[in-house]
Structure formats: structure tokens, C-alpha cells
Amino acid sequence: MQTDKQVKLKIDKISLSFGGVSALVDVSLDIRDKEILAIIGPNGAGKTALLNCINGFYKPQKGEIYFDGQRITRMRPDKLAKLGIARTFQNIELYTHLSTQDNLMAARHVLMKHNFIAGSLYLGWAQKEEIEHRQIVEEIFDFLEIAPIRKRVVGLLPYGMRKRVELARALALEPKVLLLDEPMAGMNMEEKEDIARFIIDVFEGQGASYPDTPVLRDGIRSIILVEHDMGVVMDIADRIIVLDFGRKIAEGTPAEIGTNPEVIKAYLGKEK
């Protein structure tokens, strides 16, 4: 296994409980630069709880989390978004009464430099900045092939298209680390193939195709993927972490995880 990549995000022995129920128990892992890390496990294993700790929705009772060497364990989600951590959700969390375009512009808000007064009066430099942000949003529309629905109200879109809009909103934050919580849940095979292609493309970067949008032009530094579709996980993940009852039971390449007896017993099926 390759281990010489720089660590982007480090989780050091975090534990999280709700009352007497332990969601995570002494979980440690590293997310490295330029890799797709998949987190798998049965329902209730602690996968979403782990993502919620990373982006500040939950505060672990024990342990620490570091991003680019900076301690972020109890930092607010909005501060983490500004640092470069964005996510999608297992249950879609969009502004359902707003258009696709407005949802993406809302995500861009944390990256805007003009203040409330300048924005309200639409002064020259505030106007110029908004135009620049709208250009980036247009490139994300083009990349995810959703330009025709830019003016559509999100709540009226089909489920698979709403999942794509949620990915677009996460990309609009221009993250260094992207957390994907079951981005393909509830999709048909064609929709899954599209999302898998988009994930790989945004990870690798598109070069000159999207000159105004660094996250598309240069690619995302690291992706953490929680997904139940093992075919997808085995195809696109560089490394896999396995959780069971809130504990890490295995870590390795897809080939190593696919033949690990403990993983087979806990998640992939009974050991033959």
C-alpha cells in the first residue's frame, strides 16, 4: 500500500456517544492527498456519524481531528467550509423552494468578500465579484450537465437530478476535501454510472476546460466516500476503511478488503 502521500486530514482516536449508545469508539484514520478513501460498513456502523464529526455537525467526546495540521475538532461547520471541507448528505439537504442556480449561489456566499452593504447596493466591485461567482456556477452546471435546470425549482426536480444538484452545491464551495455520504443511494444504474463518472472527473481535474473554477480545473485534493454499492467502491476507491459497531475493523486497498475474513463476515457476506 502506498503511504508516502501527504496527510490532508487526520482523525485521532475519536469517540462519540449519544446517552448510553456508542456511535464511534477510538476511531483513527488518515485521509491522504490525492486519494479517494471509501468508508463502508453495515447500517448503524458509524459512517455518517464520522462524517458529521469531520464537518462539525457532531462534537466527539474524545479524540482530535486535524486538517492540514490545524486542529478542527470543535470548529463550526461554516468555518470548516471556508477552510475547504464540503459534503453531500445521505438525505438531500437542499433549499427546495429555490432554483438550482440560487442553491449554488448560496454555497458561494461563504467565498464572497464584499460586505452586506456593498452587496445590497450592488456597488461596482460587488457587482464584479458576483459576475465572477456566477461564471463559476455556470461552469459547474456545464460539468455536471445540469445547465437546462438552472432556473428550475429544486423541490420539483426528479430525485436523481436533486442528488446531482447537491453534488454541484458541494463543488461550488471549491473544497480541498469532499465528503460524499451515499451520493448514489436510491439511484438506478444509469444514474449511478453518471455520478461515478462525475466523481472521478472532478477528482482528476479537467484542465483548460474550466479555466475559472479551480475545483474543476485542478481537481479535488481528497474525497471521502461513504457508499453501500460495493461495485462502485471497489472500482473507484484507492483505499477502504471498514467500520462495524462504531469501531474500525479493517483498512486496506480494495483487493485487500475484498479478501479480509473479518470484513467478509461483518459486511460482505459469510466467509466461505
Tell me whether residue 12 is in a domain: no
Q: Domain residues for 95?
A: 85-173+177-220
Structural domain tally of the chain?
A: 1
Task: Please indicate whether residue 116 or residue 250 has the higher confidence score (pLDDT).
Answer: 250
What are the φ and ψ backbone dihedral angles of 252, each rounded to 5 degrees? 170, -175
Tell me whether residue 25 is in a domain: no
Q: DSSP H helical segments within the chain, as ranges? A: 47-54, 77-83, 100-108, 116-121, 124-143, 159-172, 189-204, 214-217, 230-236, 254-258, 261-263
CATH number at residue 135: 3.40.50.300
Tell me whether residue 46 is in a domain: no
DSSP secondary structure of 234-270: HHH-SEEEEEETTEEEEEE-HHHHHT-HHHIIIII--
Mean pLDDT of the chain: 88
Tell me whether residue 149 is in a domain: yes
The pTM of the full predicted model, rounded to 2 decimals, is 0.88
What is the distance of C-alpha 175 from the center of its chain? 9
- pLDDT single digits (tens) 216-245: 999 998 999 999 888 899 999 999 999 999
Tell me if 54 sits within 8 A of 179, measured CB to CB: yes
Tell me whether residue 20 is in a domain: no
Model confidence band, residue 91 (pLDDT cutoffs 50, 70, 90): confident
Tell me whether residue 68 is in a domain: no
